[in-house]
Chains A and B, each alone.
Chain A
Amino acid sequence: MSLFRSGAIAASFLLAPAVYAQAIATPAGILSGANAFNPAISLIMTGQYADLSEEPDGYRIGGFLAGGEHGHGFGPGERGFGLGRTELAISANIDPFFRGEAYITFDSHGGAEVEQGYVTTLALPSGLTARFGRYLSGIGYVNEQHEDFWDFVDAPLAYKALLGTQYRHDGVQLKWIAPTDLFIELGVEGGKGLGFPASEESVKNGFSSGAAYLHLGGDVGDSHSWRAGGAYLRTRADERENDNIDINDPDALVEFAFTGKSRVWVADFVWKWAPLGNPSVRNFIFQAEYIQRKESGELAYDDTAGSGALGALSDRFRASQSGWYAQAVYQFMPRWRAGVRYDRVDSGTVEYAAPVLADYEPERKTAMVDFSPSEFSRFRLQYARDESRPNLPDTQIYLQYIVSVGAHGAHRF
């Protein structure tokens, strides 16, 4: 009985997730004083050396309304040495009902942003979890993944062209996991979209952006596991401003402002192999996603600051555009991984008063090798040939580091 008692006490005080940071401050496990409730804190630091054959400021994705209101990580970054993002993550249980997590990112030029800051329920029954605040949308696979977990330095082209790199909501999310052996997760979310393909400013009261998604997953034997998903996202934009290369003059830029709605469909698939389910020595990951986006509304076009070929126009705009990528990453020995990725996006069909977007299918081929001295540090060498810009292939070479200090982060599937 006494053992059970002490076990129960240990369970209630020592084992809360928040305690991990705690135990670091007091190795003996004695929790006392005002610091005893400190949250788990970790800091992720990244940086890179980049060798880019083309001017990064001129980066655009041909055939798309892309650029302008795009967020962090749209372009290839700066040439030469550069500090990447520094991310501070703080999390703890708030009370028996809620958990709070905040991810604050500092960019190398001094700006700070609450990249994510959300509250998640702990006590809802029946497989339900609700979340509110600012969060990465659950659509797709890479979208919800933190940048430092990516297998490559940058996001897939399809995400850059169609979803503004990573799509976030300020709003609410409700997820439900079915009581089945097969993993079935349904999610609905809505609120205000933060940036492309929504516009930065709120359009109206209520929900201006909403998404629903379904994830399925499971194991095949001891060595294989998989997850597949489908998602639908609907956003509104009000004078969403972009620029792109003028198709009548490759040295000039034109301005776009789009007002209307965007509908996005995402299909994603991940398959992982580890011999007998033990990834320490060797493992393999295959992942692919397909994204389709339809936009309809009004588009304002202005080339008066550049070539002036068409002047300023405003007319009905309809577009159906898509993109996909597939990638494979192999850990061939402890600490060493190699990976390849192929990206392709398609400018699709565009209906407008005059041809203003290039009919183009950008593609990119990427290869990388990374070395992780420990679970908390990683160095990556990446080579890419990026044909986002028509007739201007960019050869991009990166040497990147990612390190984490503080609380042990969670793994991710």
Chain B
Amino acid sequence: MKKLMLIFAALVLSTVANAAPLRVFSCEPEWSALIAEIAGDRVNIYTATTGRQDVHKIQPRPSLMAAARRADLVVCTGADFEIGWLPVLLRQAGNPRIQPGSTGYIEAAMLVDRIDIPTRLDRAEGDLHPQGNPHVQLDARNIAPIARVLAERLGELDPGNRAFFEQRLADFSARWNEAIPRWEGRAAPLKGVPVIQHEMDFNYLTRWLGMPNVAMLEPKAGLPPTAAHLAGLLEQQKREPAKVIVRAPYQDARASNWLSERTQVPATALPTTIGGTSGAQDLFSLFDDAIDRLLSAVAD
């Protein structure tokens, strides 16, 4: 036992010293992309999930634990989006730099106004998020304020590159603020177009573009669509037809295809983040692609 303890201590001590570029652990690809816009290649970015994964269902895999162990900064959506795995990583990774409340921890959703904050918290209503809808990245107007906080925090953790981060932030913000009216102009035909969503993933996008949500394929948040609920939607469609059915790439396509076949309303998968579709390569093309997909679905 004593010998084991000594080997253990030697291993631990051998790894204490380090001085390398800042390591960022980003929970979702959109935050990785935003950090890359600000920091270029002067930070090391690890992305925990992909655009094809349902972030809520992720498990604290060994690979994630190993990455959290070495991170200097954690950037996640927050608002309970990663509640099943992020708290476990933070507690078990043995890394005080990234604990909630420390400089190395940012929850992006908490930096902007959230919608869908439940007025009645009861699990009978499904898997509710007490702090509101976490998918804030899909309202383009939320991105620049979050970028500003990220740049300041990166500068705090890596003062040597502070000016570099600020200059890139200014450049990004200018390009972003030009892009917003361009997207709004392109999406003008979508205004007032009624939409059915799989869950509540696109509420920020539909609110921004002025598209009314008429129904959800899931009967309650987090509960897979049921035959009875879909049959009810079919009836409802006869009275107030929607123009498009949207789902995230990681959501089961069967429910939206079923309803689409019977109502002739087009169904489409929209990216919720970078990598969700082949067209969504960075933050700019994410919105280009989402709006293009909506426009082409509605035009059909």
Contact = CB atoms under 8 A, between A and B. Distances in A.
B189 interface: no
Interface string A363-406: 00000000001111000000000000000000000000000010
Interface residues of B, number: 70
Contact of B60 (A10, A23, A180, A412): A412
B62 A122 contact: no
Main secondary structure of the interface of A (DSSP, over half): mixed
Given A127-B95, A408-B83, A217 B62 contact: yes
Given A11-B100, A217-B62, A225-B63, A176 B130 contact: no
Contacts of A279: 54, 57, 59
Contact of B91 (A122, A128, A185, A226): A122
Contacts of A225: 61-63
Interface stretch (B8-16, B24-32, B179-187, B266-274): B8-16
A85 interface: no
A207 B88 contact: no
B113 to A, nearest CB: 11
A19 to B, nearest CB: 9
A278 to B, nearest CB: 5
A58 interface: no
B65 A176 contact: no
Interface in A120-164: 120, 122-129
Interface residues of A, number: 77
A17 interface: yes
Interface stretch (A24-32, A235-243, A248-256, A259-267): A24-32
Contacts of A281: 252
Main secondary structure of the interface of B (DSSP, over half): loop
Given A178-B11, A215-B62, A219-B63, A11 B94 contact: no
B115 interface: no
B37 interface: no
A179 B65 CA distance: 10
Contacts of A1: 152
For the complex of A and B, list the 4 residue pairs with the smallest distance between their C-beta atoms, beginning with the closest: A217-B62, A183-B62, A23-B130, A411-B84
Interface of B: 1, 4-5, 8, 11-12, 15-16, 18, 49-50, 52-54, 57-63, 65-67, 69-70, 78, 80, 83-85, 87-88, 90-96, 99-102, 105-107, 110-111, 117-121, 123, 126-127, 130-131, 145, 148-149, 152-153, 222-224, 250-252
Interface of A: 1, 3-4, 6-7, 10-17, 20, 23-24, 27-29, 99, 120, 122-129, 174-186, 188, 190, 207, 210, 212, 215-219, 222, 225-227, 234, 272, 276-281, 334-335, 373-376, 405, 408-413
